[in-house]
Amino acid sequence: MRTRSLVFVVLFAAATSLAAQNTRIRFTNEWRFEGQTSFLWLGVQRGYFQQEGLDVQIDAGTGSTAAIQRIHTGAYDIGLGDMSSLIEYYGNNPGEARVQMVYLVYDEAPLAYYALKKSGVKSIADLAGKSIASPTFDSLRKLFPVFARAARIDPASVSWVTVDPQLRTIAVMRGDAFACGGFFTVPLDFEARGVKRDELVELRVSDLGVRVYGNGLMVATKLVQENPKAVQGFVRALNRALRDMLAEPDAAIRALNQRDPLTEYKVERERLDLLRPAMLTARTRVTGLGFVDMKTLVEQIDYVSSSVQLKSKPSADQLFNARFLPPISERLPK
C-alpha cells in the first residue's frame, strides 16, 4: 500500500509539473460551438494543443466584432474572426491595433442572401427595391454596396430591417423582409421553422465574381511579440485539427458532442457539410490551408474601405502575418 501511494504521489507531481510548464491560452470562438468549429474540440481530444505545451481555455463568442474586441482589450489571447471585420477594426484604430490574423480558415467567405422561391427572385440584382433582414454588424450588410455594384443595381434601392441573427429567417417568413443574409447554413434555420430547402432561393455572393476571405485565426500582437513560440505551436495544432476535421467530419462532430451533449449530431454534421466547401476549395488544394494571397486581400481592403467609413486604410501586411504558417506539405488537405 505504501509503495502504491508513493507511485501515485510521484505521478501526480509529474503531471502537476507538466501542467505548470504549459502556456495558458485564452481562446474566444467567433460564435457558439457548432459543427464548423468542431475542429477545436477534435484538436483538444487528440491532444494537439497539449503536445505543443499549451493549456487552452476555449469560450463561446458572440460575433467577430466582439472577438476582436476581446483580444484588443487583453481579455483573450487568440480567437476566430472575420477578415472584413478585422479590416474595419484596423481602419478605425490606426496606431493602436493589437490584433493580427495568422491563419485563414475560410478561403471563401460563405456568404449568401436567401429568399422564398415563391417571391420569384432569381439573382442578387432582383433584390433592388426590396428589403433585407440583417443585424447591423453583418458583412452582407456592410459590404452590400460592393455586391450591389457587381450586380449592377443601386445600393440605396435596398432597405434594411435590423434584427437579431436568430430572427432574420422569421422576418422573411412573416413578410417583414423580402430576404435575409448569412452563412450557407441559413437554410437550417428555415428548416427548423418548417420551410423546406426546395422552397428557398440561395443567392451566393461568389456568383457575382466578388471574392472575399472569411474567418481566420486572430492573435494578440502582444502574444506575437512576447511568446512567438506559443503562437507557432497553436497554429500548428489548429492546422492539424482542421485537416483532420475536413478528412474525418464524423470524428469532429463526435468530439463536439462529447464537449456539448446538447448539440445534435445530425444538425451539426449537416452544418459542417454546408460550410466545408468554403474551407476546402480548389485553391487550398494547391496553396494549402491557412494561406492568404496578398493581392486578393488588397482587393478586399478596397471593398471594405469603399463601403464602410474608415479613419485610415490598412495595409495587407498589417492584417495578415504569414510567418507562423506551417510548411505547405503540412497544410495540404488530406
Residues 217 and 326 in one domain: yes
**17 located within any domain:** no
Q: Are residues 202 and 273 in the same domain?
A: no
Same-domain status, 130 and 228 = no
Number of neighbours of residue 174 by Cβ within 10 angstroms: 10
> Where does 73-143 have alpha helices with state H?
83-92, 139-142
Q: Is residue 295 part of a domain?
A: yes
- Asked if 137 and 172 sit in the same domain, the reply is yes
> 281 lies in which domain range?
23-107+213-331
- 53 and 154, same domain (yes or no): no
Q: Which of 94, 84, 146, 102 is nearest to 314 (CA)?
A: 94
Confidence of residue 222 (pLDDT cuts 50, 70, 90): very high
Per-residue pLDDT tens digits for 244-303 = 999 999 999 999 999 999 999 999 999 999 999 999 999 999 999 999 999 999 999 999
pLDDT digits (tens, 9 = 90+) for 8-43: 344 444 444 444 579 999 999 999 999 999 999 999
Residues 102, 224, single domain; the answer is: yes
Task: Using the structure block, give the residue that is written with the C-alpha cell 505545451.
Answer: 53
Count of domains forming the chain: 2
Q: What pLDDT is attached to residue 255?
A: 98
Residues 225 and 327 in one domain: yes
Residue 20 is predicted with a pLDDT of 52
Closest CA to 242 of 252, 228, 250: 252
- Are 89 and 155 in the same domain? no
Whether residue 183 is found in the same domain as residue 36: no
Shared domain check, 224 and 185 = no
Residue 133: inside a domain, yes or no?
yes
User: Of the candidates 158, 177, 208, which is a domain's last residue?
Assistant: 208
User: What pLDDT was estimated at residue 95?
Assistant: 87
In a domain, 8, yes or no: no
Domain-located, residue 5: no
CATH code of residue 235: 3.40.190.10
What's the confidence (pLDDT) of residue 6?
Answer: 43
User: Looking at the structure, do residues 44 and 79 belong to the same domain, yes or no?
Assistant: yes
pLDDT band at 158 (very low <50, low <70, confident <90, very high): very high
Q: With respect to residue 123, please indicate whether it lies within any of the assigned structural domains.
A: yes
Q: Is residue 48, in this structure, part of any structural domain at all?
A: yes
3-state class of 41 per DSSP? helix
Q: What is the pLDDT of residue 13?
A: 44
- Give the span between the Cα atoms of 215 and 329, in whole angstroms: 22
Pair 217, 305 in one domain: yes
